[in-house]
Amino acid sequence: MNAARSRSLWYLTFGVACCAIEFMASAASHYDFERYGMFFRASPRQADMIIISGTITRKYGPVVKRIYEQMAEPKYVVAMGSCAISGGPFYDSYSVVQGIDKIIPVDVYVQGCPPRPEALYMGLLKLKDVINRQTVVVK
């Protein structure tokens, strides 16, 4: 079952800032996401994966939390770019959240400012490893 989940991850279109342009470039024709089975869905209820690309500010934090809660399980989060990992070049600003993992739990971190499409692919392949290693735990 993990094989089915990891081969068809539908991601939510969630472009926030500069990393979003690089994300769109890696989803476009030259580096294509669709050959990995990833297709964009606009609504959070229909998506498995969210790629946070860009700086999250204090005003936008509740929106991200609400969108994350609207997604159905199983859901995966990829933090793309140094702004989503730890605040990035704006770490000492009064209005920047220092990393998206202060708001929602993150599965994979992809570094770069912005990360190259190849780096994003590496991150997504690691996400597939994470999914393939998941087991169902009977509590």
Long-range contacts of 115-118 (CB under 8 A, 24+ apart): 115/19, 115/22, 115/80, 115/81, 116/22, 117/22, 117/25, 117/26, 117/30, 117/31, 118/31
Q: Is 13 in the site for another protein (CB under 8 A)?
A: yes
Residue of the chain from 7, 37, 65, 134 that contacts another protein (CB under 8 A): 65
Helix (H, G, I), strand (E, B) or coil at 97: coil
Q: Is 116 in the site for another protein (CB under 8 A)?
A: yes
CB of 2 to another protein, least distance (A): 29
Q: What is the largest CA-CA distance in the chain?
A: 45
Q: Is 121 in the site for another protein (CB under 8 A)?
A: no
**Nearer to another protein by C-beta: 54 or 109?**
54
Summarize as ranges the residues that interact with another protein (CB under 8 A): 13-18, 20-22, 24-25, 28-30, 40, 42, 54-55, 57-63, 65, 67, 89-98, 102-103, 113-114, 116
